[in-house]
């Protein structure tokens, strides 16, 4: 197999711009057979598990995968819909809607694709497709509002690794984070307000973010600070006073200490403190997935009820909400400044 991926030397006119949306990933089916390779790829990423492979791989392959694959498959089965994986469904829909809106605003200048860091469609395949269409400039958009090495950075790693095999590389830009972007915060606030309007308003709002090991914060990862900034901005946008909202971190894995407070403990604590009606939103997820629909809306709800709470209402992720799509388009256009021609930038305005 040749070391480099070749392409046609003939220039293509006009040169196109590619936009690649990247999310975490999902198994192909809610079965142990499909979950196992997905978990193996995910948990073999040194950005996700920072244990030397010599020590970690025997544990992963001999203990973790045999024990977790079946249990994880059952969890996926509980949230699998007629459209398959919720994460893939919403990410694909976001890509289609972004493609349509950008096409209306900029004609045929842009191409839009989506990929998963783990699973399918792969980042390598999506990059290859964009370049085959003639994209000589590509914007990478990791769909993680808050930067973490285990999410945003590993998505960039996968893109860089693929481009390392290209003979003729495209120009590349990356979106680092958008944790305090005004449009993103406004979209979150609107999602909460609409939920309150249609489902009623709880006594307290819990903002649950995906957790990461505490040592990552101590080593310089900005994720913890950015989550706090997002939570503070959302509380301010909603006019919530102190004592009426809480930030917590979910999805702890293993024995090491993770960012605290833990969501599971916080749900019990809030119920035992007298909160009977609780609203929960997960601002770190722009598309509903296992962590929101199963861990919060099902498991979290049951934990809250068991501890004495009466009602837990999960507020859906941004998914295909109009304000989120508006915010995402603005983020993309901002990052493409200087690449879009004046004619294309003004098209449709």
Which H helix or E strand runs over 2? none
List the binding residues for Fe(2+).
Answer: 210, 291
Query: In Å, how far are 96, 116, 137, 171 from 113, measured between CA atoms?
Result: 8, 11, 13, 16
Q: Cα-flanking dihedrals φ and ψ of residue 321, to 5°?
A: -65, 145
Q: Across the strands, what pairs with 113?
A: 20
CA distance 42 to 69: 12
Q: Which residue has the tokens 């285990």?
A: 150
- For every residue of 280-347, DSSP letters joined together read EE-TT-SS--HHHHTIIIIIIHHHHHHTT--EEEEPP--TT-HHHHHHHHHHHHHHTTTTS-HHHHHT
Q: Quickly list H helices, the chain.
A: 32-43, 53-59, 65-79, 86-106, 123-132, 154-163, 182-199, 214-218, 223-238, 263-272, 290-293, 301-306, 322-335, 342-346
Compute the distance between CA of residue 234 and CA of residue 188 in angstroms, rounded to an integer. Answer: 7
Q: Show binding-site residues.
A: 210, 291
Going by their DSSP bridges, the two strands 245-250 and 171-174 should be labelled as: unpaired
């Amino acid at each position: 197999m040749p070391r480099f991926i070749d392409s046609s030397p003939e220039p293509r006119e006009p040169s196109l711009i590619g936009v690649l949306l990247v999310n975490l990933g999902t198994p192909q089916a809610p079965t142990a057979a499909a979950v196992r390779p997905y978990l193996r790829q995910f948990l073999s990423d040194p950005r996700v598990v920072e244990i030397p492979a010599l020590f970690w791989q025997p544990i992963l392959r001999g203990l973790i995968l045999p024990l977790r694959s079946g249990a994880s498959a059952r969890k996926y089965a509980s949230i699998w819909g007629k459209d398959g994986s919720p994460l893939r469904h919403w990410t694909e829909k976001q890509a289609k809607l972004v493609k349509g809106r950008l096409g209306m605003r900029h004609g045929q200048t842009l191409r839009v694709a989506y990929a998963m860091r783990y699973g399918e469609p792969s980042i390598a395949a999506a990059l290859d497709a964009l370049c085959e269409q003639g994209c000589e400039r590509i914007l990478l958009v990791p769909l993680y509002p808050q930067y973490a090495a285990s999410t945003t950075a590993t998505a960039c790693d996968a893109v860089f690794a693929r481009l390392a095999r290209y003979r003729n590389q495209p120009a590349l830009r990356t979106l680092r984070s958008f944790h305090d972007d005004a449009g993103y915060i406004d979209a979150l606030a609107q999602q909460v307000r609409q939920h309150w309007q249609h489902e009623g308003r709880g006594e307290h709002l819990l903002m649950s973010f995906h957790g990461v090991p505490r040592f990552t914060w101590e080593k310089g990862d900005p994720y913890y600070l950015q989550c706090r900034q997002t939570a503070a901005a959302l509380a301010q946008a909603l006019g919530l006073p102190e004592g009426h909202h809480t930030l917590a971190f979910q999805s702890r894995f293993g024995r090491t200490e993770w960012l605290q407070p833990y969501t599971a403990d916080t749900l019990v604590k809030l119920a035992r403190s007298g909160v009977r009606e609780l609203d929960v939103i997960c601002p770190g997820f722009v598309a509903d997935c296992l962590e929101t629909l199963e861990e919060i809306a099902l498991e979290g709800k049951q934990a809250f009820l068991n501890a004495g709470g009466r009602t837990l209402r999960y507020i859906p992720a941004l998914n295909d909400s109009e304000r989120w799509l508006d915010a995402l388009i603005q983020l993309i256009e901002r990052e493409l400044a200087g690449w879009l021609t004046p004619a294309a930038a003004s098209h449709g305005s």
